A and B are shown apart, each in its own frame.
With several copies, the nearest count.
Chain A
Amino acid sequence: MRIAVQSEAFDMGAEANRFAAAVQGAGAIVTFTGIVRDSASGDLDVMEIEHYPGMTERALTTIATEAMARWSLADCLVIHRYGRLRATDPIMMVATASRHRAAAFAAAEFLMDYLKSRAPFWKKEITRQGADWVAARDEDEAALKRW
């Protein structure tokens, strides 16, 4: 299990390969990667991600530890960036490994649902029009109810 909260860019493919190479006995690997989308008006200059150092690592560790236990994962990985990003940059990724696919999929979705609404990150879109904090989506909070 690895949790990384970092301002540096990461290489999604290289991280996926490194994760897969270290796993023992898994038959299924799922990755999710979140990418900075352009703003609605197509003029995103910067996506700024703020976080709460200390609490972020705690929250992610709690969520990942629960996923490991609940789905008997062979391994799991969470990487999340903060700082200034641009459209098409990867923001974050999770990876899960398990014997069969159902557990790897469920655990990856669980990690994403909890990370979205329980890990202290906030996104701000900076465009030519100005700067706007991204609003939380009701459906993200609602997604937690399924677990």
Chain B
Amino acid sequence: MIDVLYFAWVRERIGLPRERIETSAATVNDLIAELSAREERYALAFSDLSSLRVALDQELADFDAPLAGVREVAFFPPMTGG
């Protein structure tokens, strides 16, 4: 079980801020493929990875990072604070 969080327009496209997922995805890319296969709104949100960022347990990570031991995955657009 893994917590998946969505922020900003990713949250809006997918339509929810977080969900708990049962998955055996080995990497972030695998998880994205799994979610995108589920429903159109996921496929749409993940259609352009260059406009997405991912954090694993609240640290920025790469899309090929392994998910072993990870409890929280978050997807969001590039940050625009400051």
Contacting pair A122 B80 (CB below 8 A): yes
Are the CB atoms of A52 and B82 closer together than 8 Å? no
Query: Is there an interface contact between B82 and A101, defined as CB atoms closer than 8 Å?
Result: yes
Could you say which of B5, B59, B74, B77 contacts A136, with CB atoms under 8 Å apart?
B77
CB nearest to B11 among chain A residues: A50
* B49: min CB distance to chain A, Å: 15
How far is A117 from B79 in the complex, measured between Cα atoms in Å?
A: 5
Classify the secondary structure of A's interface with B: mixed
A34 with B82: CB separation less than 8 A: yes
Interface hub of B8, B74, B79 (most chain A Cβ within 10 A): B79
Instruction: Please state if A92 and B82 are interface contacts (CB–CB under 8 Å).
Output: yes
Query: Which residues of A from 89 to 134 have beta carbons under 8 Å from B?
Result: 91-92, 101, 112, 115-124, 133-134
Q: Are B7 and A50 in contact (CB under 8 A)?
A: yes
Who on chain A is nearest to B81 by CB?
Answer: A121
Residues in A whose Cβ lies below 8 Å from that of B58: 52, 54-55, 58-59
Which B residue sits closest to A131, measured CB to CB? B12
Q: Quick check: is A84 within 8 A (CB to CB) of the other chain?
A: no
Provide the bound-state CA to CA distance between A126 and B79, in Å: 18
Closest to B58 in A: A55
For residue A135, CB closer than 8 A to chain B, the reply is: yes
Which residue in A55, A101, A121 is a CB contact (below 8 Å) of B80?
A: A121
Q: Does A20 contact B (CB under 8 A)?
A: no
Known: A51-B81, A122-B79. 18 other contacts (CB 8 A): A50-B7, A52-B5, A52-B74, A54-B58, A55-B58, A58-B58, A91-B81, A115-B82, A116-B81, A119-B82, A120-B81, A121-B79, A122-B76, A122-B81, A124-B8, A133-B77, A134-B80, A136-B78
